[in-house]
Structure 1
Amino acid sequence: MIVTTTEKPSASARLKAAELAGELGGKLVERRNRTLKQLSERYSDAELLVVTSGELRYYREASETPLYFHPSMAYVRVKRLRKGERDPLVELSGCRPGDSVLDCTAGLGSDAVVFSYAAGPEGAVTALESEPVLCAVVREGLKSYRTELPDVNEALRRIEMVCADHASYLTSLPDNSFDIVYFDPMFRQPVTESSALEPLRALANHEALSPETIAQAVRVARKKVVIKEKNNSPEFERLGFERCPVKKTSAVGYGVIMIEPKQCKQPT
């Protein structure tokens, strides 16, 4: 992968490009007024990561639409929460101010943003992403993206992005580490076709969740384990989740595992 900048980069953009090239094992290349296509052809590499003044843009091909961080529908959902309206994920997960949330499949971070706002300044959201490039794009976006709402910006900054495989990460955690553990695995068949999301699908981890991983999530969670899947998915039953009622016409559904109060062992 080529790591480069815009044509007239700032000193900070040059430094960030060098840091990312080292982190991701990419090839640091000076732009020198060359187009992305020219760079791709010159170095025989179709993948490019471009550092701009405000974001990272990842290209699978120089001619394709780039992948970059944008809160998108998460911003719409948070604005609804600000007005006192419901959000299905917040409601079903029971996320409250002060809660700690582990988002095991961060992707572009949309649900992590909603959780972070719902959990508030006293809460904490850790978002895991196993694919290093995607993790870097979202991590840097969460640090720099600005909306016109200061409390939403603060929610973005509070999210801790961690580049890790969720199965290994869960195994490393002690019991009862988070209030809520959440999974939104990449759907095998997309709900909607979108050329803008194709770079995400190319980068994302498509492995199915295992029952062993869910067992670890149950051990780690204090309140609930939640999964988002296609409404008609057999994954709910396979992994032991109780389906939550949704409209029959809804493309997306949720499943929940309620955590029983964990009894302390009595001294002998």
Structure 2
Amino acid sequence: MKEAMEKITVIQSKALEFLKTQQNDSVDCVYFDPMFEETILESDGIKGLGQFAIHDDLTEESIIEALRVAKKRVVLKDYYKSQRFERYGFIVNRRKSAKFHFGIIEKN
């Protein structure tokens, strides 16, 4: 686990601004984990970070840029009732008892 964590570089930037600076097909996957549109009351771990989070919504431009940058796929983690999955064309992996799901757009 430590070896894998050492391969991660944290970059402080808004997603769209960062994506615009990247080359085509330069990463395997782009992963979006925006603030949920609705609050999950059971999610105590994130409460303290909410004041520091960026609450900007995803945009079509962000998805287009992510698809340009990603070689394989774009992944969205979002609230299970989120309209973003359908709005941007994600295929949703629905998990029966989970409050959030993962949506994927695969590149061919």
TM-score with structure 2 setting the length: 0.89
Asked if the contact 1:180/1:221 (under 8 Å) is kept, the reply is: yes
Other structure's SS at 1:215 match: helix
Cα-Cα RMSD: 1.4
Counterpart in 2 of 1:175? Answer: 24
Q: Taking CA–CA contacts closer than 8 Å with sequence separation of 6 or more, which of the two structures ends up with the larger relative contact order?
A: 2
Asked if the contact 1:181/1:225 (under 8 Å) is kept, the reply is: yes
Other structure's SS at 1:243 match: strand
Distance, in Å, in 1 between the alignment partners of 2:100 and 2:57 is 17
Amino acid at match of 1:259: K
* Alpha-carbon shift at residue 198 of structure 1 (Å): 2.6
Kindly provide the CA deviation profile for residues 205-239 of structure 1, in whole angstroms up to 9, marking residues without a partner as x: 11100011000101111111010111121110112
Counterpart in 1 of 2:80? Answer: 231
Q: In terms of Rg, which structure is larger?
A: 1
Structure 2: tracts of 5 or more residues without a match: none
Counterpart in 2 of 1:100? Answer: none
Counterpart in 1 of 2:46? Answer: 197
Query: Which residues of 2 match residues 103-252 of structure 1 at below 5 A?
Result: 152-191=1-40, 192-194=42-44, 196-247=45-96, 249-252=97-100
* Alpha-carbon shift at residue 193 of structure 1 (Å): 4.5
Query: Which residues of 2 match residues 245-260 of structure 1 at below 5 A?
Result: 245-247=94-96, 249-260=97-108
Other structure's SS at 2:38 match: coil
Amino acid at match of 2:89: G
Asked if the contact 1:188/1:206 (under 8 Å) is kept, the reply is: no
Amino acid at match of 1:200: L
Q: How much identity, in percent, do the aligned residues show?
A: 34
Structure with more of its chain in strand, by fraction: 2
